[in-house]
């Protein structure tokens, strides 16, 4: 007798949460972070799911219904052009507008001399982060917002109206999407809330990577003070969007704070002292954080092991699974480790072999979640994703 979606959801939620608490569920949960792959599977272009979030939502639900997955993100194609175009954001390459329609959206970092924050503006950011972002940063990243002191234009005024309406429309649509995932497919919404490290805010959206590298040597005290000034704001944002039931984790995408982007000394001086207290505060409020370790963060596993047991879920991209499991597997749940290149270009049997190897290393005693190494875009092969799913269901039973 087929299970109802209510039964499926209850089983999957219990399985997912048990694994994230680094315990042993009935079987290994499957939680693929699939972005433009959903468009490919549902028959849409990257342009369609970027311009129409209802199509993106429908594509995510179709994948959730057709694949036996325990949890997914309601929409991993997080750039909705209705919002970015409403305020004229300059730092996204949008399919069908500035890049080809079947290419996933891109982040466009300006050259160092055109960084969105100038090197002599640290004091403004430190004094009032919100004021600086609104008054100085926003006019630089928006094609329509005028600088403070210059006459307001029709397009400036309209950008705030359109942007506010678009933001409310988009983000208020996610609760309904999460409910449809639950009621139509019995699938758990994988994360809630968002966190970025203060250091990554500087590197990604303000000074740029090259600018920040220069600042680490030319004005290190200002860099540290800026990171410290951003800490309470980022903590608040993370907790404000967190799961009220405290089941699913807050997503934290890890970018440029690791070796070789920065040295061990810089990690220990800037990145970790201004990130660790945020994680501890979030955990004190009863929420886990998903450390989505894009790239290879193996050099910093000893630092991550300082965090309280079960406070994070550690996702492996290019790190060595054996090393990760040895260093932090007793403390935290681990996810990922199936290379995206293999899912894109390999054969189904090669995917099954890789899944077995990863499960044998990280999944023997529980505390492991099956997923690709990184977000799956439209180069992911459908049969390979099916092989990853089916093998995990067969081999990953405890």
Q: What is the mean pLDDT of residues 60-77?
A: 97
- Inter-residue contact 13 to 247 (CB < 8 Å): yes
Q: Where are the domains positioned within the chain? A: 5-77+187-395
Question: Cα–Cα distances in Å, from 127 out to 140, 351, 360?
Answer: 19, 51, 51
Query: Which CATH topology does 5-77+187-395 take?
Result: TIM Barrel (3.20.20)
Kindly tell me if the per-residue pLDDT of 311 is higher than 70.
Answer: yes
User: pLDDT value at position 42?
Assistant: 98
Q: What is the pLDDT of residue 52?
A: 97
User: Residue holding tokens 């639900």?
Assistant: 61
| Proportion of the chain above pLDDT 90, given as a percent | 98
Assess whether pLDDT exceeds 80 at residue 2.
no
Q: Is 109 exposed, middle or buried (0-12, 13-18, 19+ CB in 10 A)?
A: middle
Q: What is the pLDDT averaged over residues 366-377?
A: 98
Cβ proximity of 31 and 70 under 8 Å: yes
Would the pLDDT of 173 be above 90? yes
Q: Which of 318, 338, 341, 331 has the alpha carbon at shortest distance from 279?
A: 331
The answer, yes or no, to whether residue 1 has pLDDT greater than 60, is no
- For the record, the structure tokens of 144 come out as 């329509």
252-296 confidence digits (pLDDT tens) = 999 899 999 999 999 999 999 999 999 999 999 999 999 999 999
Nearest C-alpha neighbor of 265 from the set 294, 293, 303: 303
Question: Are the C-beta atoms of 310 and 289 separated by less than 8 Å?
Answer: no
Span 346-371, average pLDDT: 97
Beta bridge partners of 189: 72
Report pLDDT for 198: 98
Phi-psi region for residue 50, left (φ > 0), alpha (ψ -120 to 50) or beta?
alpha
Q: Does residue 70 have a pLDDT over 70?
A: yes
The mean pLDDT of the chain is 97
Q: Which two tokens stand for residue 128?
A: 């009032």
Task: For the chain, give the number of residues.
Answer: 398
**The pLDDT value given to residue 3:** 82
Rg of the chain over CA atoms, in angstroms? Answer: 21
3-state helix, strand, coil in the chain (%, to 5): 55, 10, 35
């Amino acid at each position: 007798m087929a299970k109802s979606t209510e039964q499926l959801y209850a089983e999957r939620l219990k399985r997912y949460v048990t694994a994230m608490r680094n315990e042993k569920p009935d079987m290994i949960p499957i939680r693929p972070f699939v972005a433009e792959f959903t468009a490919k599977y549902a028959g849409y272009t990257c342009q369609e799911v970027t311009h129409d979030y209802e199509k993106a939502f429908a594509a995510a639900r179709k994948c959730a219904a057709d694949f036996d997955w325990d949890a997914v993100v309601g929409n991993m194609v997080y750039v909705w052009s209705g919002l970015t175009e409403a305020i004229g954001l300059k730092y996204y390459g949008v399919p069908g507008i500035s890049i080809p329609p079947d290419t996933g959206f891109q982040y466009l970092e300006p050259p160092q001399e055109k960084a969105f924050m100038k090197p002599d503006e640290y004091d403004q950011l430190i004094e009032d982060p919100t004021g600086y972002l609104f008054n100085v940063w926003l006019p630089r990243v928006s094609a329509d917002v005028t600088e403070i002191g210059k006459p307001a234009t029709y397009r400036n005024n309209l950008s705030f109206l359109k942007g506010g309406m678009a933001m409310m429309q988009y983000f208020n649509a996610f609760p309904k999407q999460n409910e449809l995932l639950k009621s139509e497919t019995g699938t758990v919404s994988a994360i809630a809330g968002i966190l970025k490290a203060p250091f990554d805010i500087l590197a990604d959206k303000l000074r740029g990577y090259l600018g920040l590298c220069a600042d680490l040597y030319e004005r290190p005290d200002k860099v540290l003070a800026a990171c410290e000034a951003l800490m309470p704001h980022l903590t608040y944002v993370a907790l404000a969007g967190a799961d009220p039931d405290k089941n699913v984790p807050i997503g934290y995408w890890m970018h440029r704070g690791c070796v070789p982007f920065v040295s061990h000394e810089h990690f220990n001086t800037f990145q970790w002292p201004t990130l660790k207290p945020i994680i501890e505060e979030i955990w004190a409020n009863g929420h886990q954080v998903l450390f989505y370790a894009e790239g290879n963060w193996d050099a910093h596993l000893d630092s991550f092991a300082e965090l309280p047991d079960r406070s994070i879920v550690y996702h492996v991209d290019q790190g060595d699974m054996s090393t990760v499991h040895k260093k932090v597997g007793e403390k935290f749940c681990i996810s990922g480790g199936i290379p995206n290149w293999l899912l894109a270009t390999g054969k189904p049997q090669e995917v099954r072999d890789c899944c077995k190897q990863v499960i044998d290393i990280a999944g023997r005693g529980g505390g492991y979640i099956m997923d690709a190494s990184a977000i799956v875009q439209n180069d992911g092969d459908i049969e390979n994703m099916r092989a990853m799913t089916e093998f995990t269901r067969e081999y990953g039973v405890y």
